[in-house]
Copies of this chain bind each other. A is one copy, B any other.
Amino acid sequence: MNKHLGAQSVWFENVVSVNAAASVVGPKEGQGPLGKYFDIVCEDNLFGADSWEKAESEFARRGLDLAVKKSGLPMDNMDYIISGDLLNQSTGSTFGVIDTKRPFFGIFGACSTIGEGMALGSVLIDGGFAYNVLAGAGSHFCAAEKQFRFPLELGSQRPPSSTWTVTGHGAVVLSNLGEGPFVTGATTGKIVDMGVKDQNNMGAVMAPAAADTIASHLRDFNRAPDYYDLILTGDLGYVGRDLLYTLMKDEGYDISRNHKDCGIEIFDRESQDTHSGGSGCACAASVFSAYFWRKLKEKSLNKVLFVPTGALLSPTSFMQGENIPAIAHAVALETSR
């Protein structure tokens, strides 16, 4: 039996149902256009913790717990937890997962993490290695600014191409039984390096990776873009979206009619001062969990290609003059199979 479809893609022959999704976000995200869809909007970014990093773990803890509660299963039924984040050595996930006492795969895909987790979770279920997998990803604006850019106290100006790291967490429960939406295929990203060095323009960094993965997916499955009701990228923002459309046209595809970007959806550009949009592991994870999973669940969307995108840099690699490469992982979600 071979489920390896093409250069980068696999299909799933057994049921992989996304039975539950949960989102926990900060106050700014709660004030955005999707505010009413998030399960929990906390009152302040510290979320009861005494540091931003500990708050990030608290978001993870609450998000993972809530997704499992919504699935109706006990945590002990999660055969694996797969999680990641942006903090050094992924401590946001470590301390968020620690109380679960479940087998754990730590992953790092920067802001593409939820896509990587859903792909690996689907592999575990379809391959017969798990009944239920809990996959999550989170980020925290204050912790990310401190770690990657400047302390907030400096009040540094942000250029128009910059994006705003989402504070929050998104998690899904994948199961071998359920009514869907179903994960029907996945396309694993390659690292793409177009020589971009501007750490305030993540859209430009990640658009080539998104284009590469989407085009590979469409070729591997021999599908036109309009096979999908929606192609949903992670956090390209306005700058990255425009680049993506151009790059996709070069590949022979027009995706402008059925594309949305989680980073554009989560904040109001005019009133929230977030410039090019939202970003961070939590951006794709929380927007998908809060809004687009519901749309699939109620079948107002039936076929969605979810493509979280990640920029693979550290402050050290950046300051040592390295380019900023990127990666994007695609999972195909369908209400029937």
Contact = CB atoms under 8 A, between A and B. Distances in A.
A65 interface: no
A127 interface: yes
Interface in A193-225: 193
B126 A89 contact: no
Contacts of A313: 89, 91
A116 B126 contact: no
Interface string A74-94: 000001100010111111001
Interface string A296-327: 00000000000000001111110010100101
Contact of A103 (B101, B106, B188): B188
A320 B54 contact: yes
A6 B64 CA distance: 23
Contacts of A127: 3, 123-124, 126-129
| Copies of this chain, whole number | 2
B79 A190 contact: no
A40 B292 CA distance: 50
A46 interface: no
A312 B91 contact: yes
B91 A88 contact: no
A45 to B, nearest CB: 16
Contacts of A316: 53, 87-88, 91, 147
* Residue of A120, A188, A191 with highest tally of chain B CB at under 10 A: A191
A98 interface: yes
Nearest to A51: B320
* Residue of A8, A89, A107 with highest tally of chain B CB at under 10 A: A89
Contacts of A84: 108
Contacts of A106: 107-109, 116, 312, 327
Given A53-B317, A95-B325, 5 more contacts: A53-B320, A54-B322, A90-B312, A104-B188, A123-B129
Q: Which 3 A-B pairs have the closest CB atoms?
A: A127-B127, A103-B188, A89-B314
8 contacts: A3-B128, A8-B103, A84-B108, A95-B322, A101-B191, A104-B188, A120-B120, A123-B129
